[in-house]
Structure 1
Amino acid sequence: MPCAFPNMLKNNKGRGPMTMPATPAAAAPPPSPAGAQTPPSWRRKIGAGPPRGGVTAGQFVDIGPDAKTAAEWALRGLTPPDLAALRAYRLARVREQLAARDCGAILLCDPLNIRYACDASNMQVWCAHNAVRYLFLPLDGPLVLFEFQSSRHLAAGLDLIAEVRPAISWNYMHGGEALATKARRWAAEIVDLMVAHGGNRRLAVDRVNPEGAAALGELGLSLHNGEAVMELARVVKGAPEIAAMRCALAACEAAMAEMQAALAPGVSEIELWSHLHAGNIKRGGEWIETRLLTSGARTNPWLQECGSRQIQAGDLVAFDTDLIGPDGYCADISRTWLCGDRPASGTQRDLFAVARQHIDENRALLKPGVHLRELTEKSDRLPEAYRAHRYPVVMHGVGLCDGSPRGLSRGRRARRL
């Protein structure tokens, strides 16, 4: 059964050096002897650090884009984000949601939520499946980052973080059969912080294992949905975020252009896809979330992963970038290209016409004030021949990753925001 072009309505919007005040940081613990492990008892007060692109003590370098990428953006007329304003805006959004739910604080374990709240980044993909760091963010008061061992230096320069403490890693890999005991130690420290920040015992948590939830509950805390807090905080983008997103999208489009230049009969799907990776990383991007690039008959049904198939002349090549670009912002762009110089076939032209109409009609519905239910109910309905393999949603939000809001395909239940 044929399938109209996948992922047919995604956001496709199009840094010189950034500066931050360079006030001295609090003194770090004395260096350990060569090869020694940092003791688990360290705590460090954080001060402002190096400017964007700067270096401190010859070793700490900003992980963002380099001067070459900044020049690319300047040629496109893009204004890089003001990082101080970006961080302040995002923190205010989180606290606004906490206040609306009468929560005294939120405990964040998801690395993307930690990044949103305080801009701290540490092995993001690895930490996504290893609960080794977390952030305590009170409704009013200083932020405390609990960091993975030997990683306290990564918070240097992040002025929203008042203190870094060693994380108690109580997931099974680190806790084993002592997991419950470590979870109680972990919970006791969180409760102490809740008491110190006003005594409101309503705590929002984005991720927690049963042992952790039980330990917090036994100590008198009432747990609430931190995922909802963060999703709704991230829905509305301020001007600094929009600037960051435009830069990430520009980096993605430049990487796509390099991938398109490498498209030729005989190249494999995975080799072609590697150009997107390389183009993203060299522009300060961070990782790619999926392997969605396929060719020929493998484009239908969608959601197959790229493989070793050699692309042939006349093949359609469909992909979804799903990349996390500079400053951690997602660029989720879908494209379908024709390989080689031969004209598109009649069937390919018909598919293009259906896809183009679907995108144009749905894009016309987007306007300030439209309700998600209205957007879903009025969205273009694909012809019957394409519905079995349609994409799950008509459109969705994006920021540091895919997120709320989303409009469902017609025929599926609409969600109110």
Structure 2
Amino acid sequence: MTTTGELRRRLERTRGELRRRRVDGLVVSPGADLRYLCGLDAHLDERLTALVVPADAGPTLIVPELERGAAAESLAGGLDAEIIGWSDTQDPYRLVAASVRGTQIAVSSRMWAGHVFGLQDCGLQPRDGQGIMSTLRAVKSAEEVDALRRAAHAIDAVHGEIDQWLRPGRTENEVAVDLDAAIRAVGHARVDFVIVASGPNGAHPHHLASDRMIEPGDLVVVDIGGTMPDGYCSDSTRTYAAGREPSERGRRVHELVAEAAEAGRRASCPGVPATDVDAAARRVIRDGGFGAEFVHRTGHGIGLDTHEEPYIVEGNASPLADGAVFSVEPGIYLPGELGVRIEDIVAARSAGPDVLTEAPRELRVVG
């Protein structure tokens, strides 16, 4: 559970980052950035909700009057932040302008364009605040790693019961419906995605689910994740064999992906450039003869968003920080035939890679 003490430390780091970048203030709209900085889980809509963090003063939370009570009762109410409610006859953008000294502001990257234009009309000069927020959120505190471990163990529990739902004769959609319910049952507040990709559908990395009936011997990619009540996300992929052993080619592909995933996890240490983790996993698959069939990056950061910095991709020379948490998820996709992906969540720690997900990775025959 995020505490007000943790939020205050995040706000102080934010002010330091603003001063370093010579920006007068940061304006954050609803979403993961807002929850990260003040603990408020608010709706993004046409009425402006914004946390204003000046570089040299305390924060101000500007909310529609009808939301002020809820904001005061959230963690934000314990931060000594001024909470200002505005009515539908007021201009909230002028309240933002009055809350920051200067005109150079950074805004959260997911702020609606209409709100950005409203800030410009008040004389402010917005710039993209993605770099600031990525710098802050890419390094997880011990409390955040613990939250992500709880999320990982919850999704592990769903994989652990896969035999209940995945078997030949059922459709992908039928399995997906059961998985959706199971993700909620183990403690997630929201289901973010359920991928059940059987046989040739496994060759599409972002296939969700269809009316295709699962056949004996199919390899089935099961990629599931959700958001826990504290806002932190889970994401884990395993590939199963339905009903009986797959083809020899399918088993070989699974072995290569498992070896690549292990290589990527071993390389996930602080100070290692993200591109090197990608290369470690990709090298195994390339040497196995399937380099062209590994069609996506090796991983992505995870936290209050399922996808965030750091991205484990070729060309990202940024060294992994102690406390970075991200997926390692190599895959091989053979069009019209099959697909295999294995995904774990890893924290780069000075003592060595800390793998948060623990579900078995070997090829299991289920159903």
TM-score (norm 2): 0.74
Does the aligned pair in 2 maintain the 1:256–1:276 contact within 8 Å? no
Does the aligned pair in 1 maintain the 2:39–2:74 contact within 8 Å? no
Match of 2:95 among 189, 205, 210: 189
Q: Greater CA deviation, 232-241 or 109-118?
A: 109-118
Matching of residues 64-83 of structure 1 within 5 Å? 81=1, 83=3
- Distance in 2 between residues matched to 1:131 and 1:263, nearest whole Å: 44
Q: Give the length in aligned residue pairs.
A: 312
Matching of residues 133-144 of structure 1 within 5 Å? 133-144=49-60
- Distance in 2 between residues matched to 1:137 and 1:306, nearest whole Å: 43
Match of 2:159 among 215, 236, 256: 256
> Based on CA coordinates, which of the two structures has the bigger radius of gyration?
1
Does the aligned pair in 2 maintain the 1:269–1:306 contact within 8 Å? yes
SS in 1 for 2:212: coil
1:76: which partner in 2?
none
Q: Which has the higher contact order (CA 8 A, sep 6+)?
A: 1
TM-score (norm 1): 0.66
SS in 2 for 1:151: helix
Q: CA deviation at 1:328?
A: 0.9
SS in 1 for 2:208: coil
Residue 400 of structure 1 aligns to which amino acid in structure 2?
A: L
Q: CA deviation at 1:378?
A: 5.0
Matching of residues 275-286 of structure 1 within 5 Å? 275-286=178-189
- Distance in 1 between residues matched to 2:113 and 2:279, nearest whole Å: 39
Q: CA deviation at 1:397?
A: 1.4
CA change 1:414–1:371 in 2 (3 A) is: closer
2:21: which partner in 1?
101
Match of 1:362 among 257, 264, 268: 264
CA change 1:308–1:289 in 2 (3 A) is: same
1:316: which partner in 2?
219
Residue 399 of structure 1 aligns to which amino acid in structure 2?
A: G
Does the aligned pair in 1 maintain the 2:62–2:92 contact within 8 Å? no
- CA RMSD after TM alignment: 2.9
- The sequence identity of aligned pairs, in percent, is 25
1:343: which partner in 2?
245
Unaligned 5+ segments in structure 1 are: 1-80, 170-181
Residues 273-312 of structure 1, C-alpha deviation per residue, up to 9 Å, x if partnerless? 2333323334442323334221121101321121222222
2:311: which partner in 1?
406
- Distance in 1 between residues matched to 2:301 and 2:177, nearest whole Å: 26
Q: CA deviation at 1:376?
A: 4.3
Q: CA deviation at 1:190?
A: 0.9
- Distance in 2 between residues matched to 1:92 and 1:273, nearest whole Å: 43
SS in 2 for 1:330: coil
CA change 1:414–1:141 in 2 (3 A) is: closer
1:54: which partner in 2?
none
- Distance in 1 between residues matched to 2:253 and 2:9, nearest whole Å: 42
- Distance in 2 between residues matched to 1:315 and 1:130, nearest whole Å: 47
SS in 1 for 2:134: helix
CA change 1:146–1:285 in 2 (3 A) is: farther
Unaligned 5+ segments in structure 2 are: 320-367
- Distance in 1 between residues matched to 2:254 and 2:40, nearest whole Å: 42
Match of 2:11 among 74, 84, 91: 91
1:147: which partner in 2?
63
* TM superposition outliers: structure 1 runs of 4+ over 6 Å: none
